[in-house]
Every structure is written in C-alpha cells, then in structure tokens.
Homo-oligomer: A and B are copies of this chain.
Amino acid sequence: MVPTSNSPLAGLPDDVLLNLDQQLCFALYSASLSMTKVYKPLLAQLKLTYPQYLVLLVLWEQDALTVNALGQRLFLDSGTLTPLLKRLEKLDFISKKRALDDERRVIVTLTSAGKKLRDQALQVPIQVSCNTGCSLPEMQSLHHQLIKLRASLGKH
C-alpha cells in the first residue's frame, strides 16, 4: 500500500473522486477503444487486426526478433503474442524458427508478403490522422503526455 497523503486528488469530495466523466483512466480507456474502431475497417483491408498491425510495425523497423523482444517493444506478453503470431503465420505474413544458438528462443521473421504489405500500410496512419480532429502540434503534445504517463505507470 502506497501512502496517499501526497495524492493529487487528496481532499476532493467523494462524488468527484468516483465520477466516471472525471476519471482519467476512463478517458484513456474509451479513447483507446475509439481509436481501435477507426483502425479496424482500414486494417481489415490488409486482413489485419490492430495488435497484429502493431507487431508488423515493429518488424518493419527491425526484422528477425524473438517473441520476447516483440513483447518488450509492445508491452505485451507471450500469452498474448503466441496465438497472435500463429494467425500472422497462417496469413503468411511472418515465419517462425528456433534460434540456432539458443533453442528456447523463437525468431519471428517477415515473409515477402509481410514485407510487401508495408506499402499498403502507409495509407493507414494518413487516413486515421484525418479522423483525430487534432492538428499535428496537438497530436504531438498528447503523444508526449501519454508516453510520460505510461512510463510513470510502468514503474509500479
């Protein structure tokens, strides 16, 4: 249990503390779900779900990563990634093989179809940015604050 005397919320009345529309967590949660809903139809054209798209973003930057390395980059664990990677493999966007030097590790590699998909994916962030209702500086400000928040939350 953390001491709560230095809470930014200390002293606020009960009805404010538990008011849904004043919860940062809910604004975050519902905005994230709304964002995924905007991506969904765009990614469906590439036969991808949103988390699958994130995996490919990582691999397009750096190919041939272990499951663990992917998980660290995306803040996801193997229980999430293993079935997701199976589906990407079935779609022939990635392939998996054991590392030669350490057979516990599974190396995930893009197939040629997976590499080619990047060209189509370029349109996705462009399309989405038109739906955010934010200017570039607004997006950058929000982005910066979210990364700071994620870092703070991740320490606990």
Contact = CB atoms under 8 A, between A and B. Distances in A.
Q: Label chain A's interface by main secondary structure.
A: helix
Interface string A121-156: 111011111111111101101110111111111111
Interface residues of A, number: 75
A134 B82 CA distance: 34
Interface in A1-60: 1-4, 6-10, 14, 17-20, 22-39, 50, 54, 57-58, 60
- What is the copy number of this chain in the assembly? 2
Nearest to A32: B32
A143 B146 CA distance: 11
A32 B38 contact: no
A91 interface: no
A17 to B, nearest CB: 5
A145 B152 CA distance: 19
